[in-house]
Structure 1
Amino acid sequence: MTVFITGTAGFIGFHLAKLLLDQGHVVHGYDGMTDYYDVRLKRARHDLLRQYPQFTATEAMLEDDATLQAAVAAARPSAIVHLAAQAGVRYSIDHPRTYLDANIIGSFNVMEAARRQQVRHLLMASTSSVYGANTDMPYRETQKCDTQMSFYAATKKASESMAHAWAHIHGVPITLFRFFTVYGPWGRPDMALFKFTKAILAGQPIDIYNHGDMWRDFTYVEDLVRAIALLVDAVPPQVAERANTQAVEGDSLSPVAPWRVVNIGNSDKVRLLDFIDAIEQCLGKPAIRNYVDMQPGDVPATWADASLLQRLTGYQPQTNLREGIQRFVDWYHAHYSPAQATV
């Protein structure tokens, strides 16, 4: 199978591409190599993927529609997994247009490529942030999501809605998956685990938002990409074909389109302070804690109901938090020498 993946130089895209390549699939990657964080880390990820003979890549922005359409046409993929995006809740406060360009225009261009090439399945990344101000947890895919708290979340919710319309109008089977606080080796420097590890090793204080009264559903990255790989074959059926298919309990499948949304989470919420305790234990060094107020656009808790994922694929993320953190710490020590610790 040939899979076209956007964002292969990114954290999740790299891990997904590696998994599919290890399974013997052909992967064509597409990445803009933006400088939102250290491009050297992105290039190091791509360098590892280029060691596979069945991996090729195009370096260009999603907004470059002509290049994107040409790359997809040349790859002739069975499936497209759209992971590239401008991420980050806090960054979206000061740089909203970046999110509009990448997450709205870029996603539209990917949907159009899927339509033109008549791919078997288009899968698109969303986020748990779309649940916004909802307090009924664990979050379920069928909940109403109209109260996003950041512009980042708003652009992701907009892409979900655009995808639904696209699936309805053009019959393109589309699955949206909502991520819940992904962590692990090769993570982004702007994410909590990376920032905390770097600061603790350097003897610098860490900012703990909402004075530690935060809860997250932490998902280990290899669990996440395994779920995505399994979802590639869980194609939402066309409306006309459903008379011969058995309904899935709790399914978010649209009644008018081959479209669904799926949570990918660990189905467990962890207190931020317990997360920090685990990092300290893995590093063998205490953190200097700076307790601060909640950041604008952030939410105090996320918690996934991932039962639909299990019903569709038979899989449930299960990596123990302490084990996952230790794997990140081991990677961090191996990847960064003391001289590089400021990266």
Structure 2
Amino acid sequence: MVTNTTKTIYKKRVWAGLLLAQFLLFFAFSRSSVMISFFENFFEIQKKFHQLIFSWIPFSFGDVLYILLGIFLLYHVISCFSKKNRKNSLFKILVSINIFYFIYQVFWGMLYFQTPIIKKLPSQKEPTVDKAKILTLKYLQKCKDTRKLTKEDKNGIFVIADLKAVQKEILYRQALLPGNISGKKAPGINSFKPSLFKNIMSYTGILGYYNPFTAESQFNSQLPNTFIPFTSAHESSHQLGFAREQEANFVGYLIGINSKNLDLRYSTEYFTLKSLLNYIADKDPDFVKNILRNYSQEMKKDRAYEKAFMMKHQGLLDDFFGFTNNLFLKSNQQEGSITYSYFIDLLLNYEKV
């Protein structure tokens, strides 16, 4: 007669084996252009329904899901220290990891292996500092001009006039992306949600994130307003199906750069300018210092406010999440979080400098 203990051990081995099999299977899928195309097409079919299911909920359901999952895992991890509950808790943890890993890969993980956008552009020239400098001067002037037209608070800091209008504009601009870069359908569903973890996010350096389990785009509502419109455009690019971070930056750039919404356009121009300066900084620091000196007074106030926000929220969490995010990006065929070169590659090739 098979005892309950033997059954539990057998089940654990089955689920552990299943998890290993999943790792190997999805790794094999990531090497197959046929399977990558399958998952890309599947995402196109399911994304509208996925967004519709959760978009009507007024708060971030994905965050609630993460909280419940965290409580569940914490409870069973603690239970593992009890001899009586150890086997059952390990079994439940294994089952949960299997289910969430499978859902993640099917709904999202395989999209990291799509054909890179850079290969869709007509020319693929190497970026140079001189080309980046030309664009930097261009976007400095754009920022100066647009910033004068935006709203600000009593301290002269940029504020968003109407966040809903920004979100509506992002959804509209999604449908106008160049066909050679994106053949993805724009569902036009507003699923932007302020994160429930905003207080923690402020100390992690994370501006926003896409939840692959609920198709929601979360943003940190405590951020300086200069960040929020472009962060929303970036996260909406994930909703379209662009998984790589720097490609989502580029698609966010395409969404916002010619927008008639001043808040979205300024935030996009300002992000682009900062990205170019970060790219040039270690190659020609004097040029960067000169550009910063030539910021308009309005831009200098915005920059000072951003710096004060960052300084206030620096700490161990920032370092930890920066490190773990870097590992995650590299594990998914991406550059590290502090590397801007791929976005600059895309930008310079698109702008044909």
Please report the TM-score for the alignment, with normalisation by the length of structure 2: 0.26
Query: Which is greater in Rg?
Result: 2
Between Structure 1 and Structure 2, the one with more strand by share is 1
Larger relative contact order (C-alpha < 8 A, sep ≥ 6)?
2
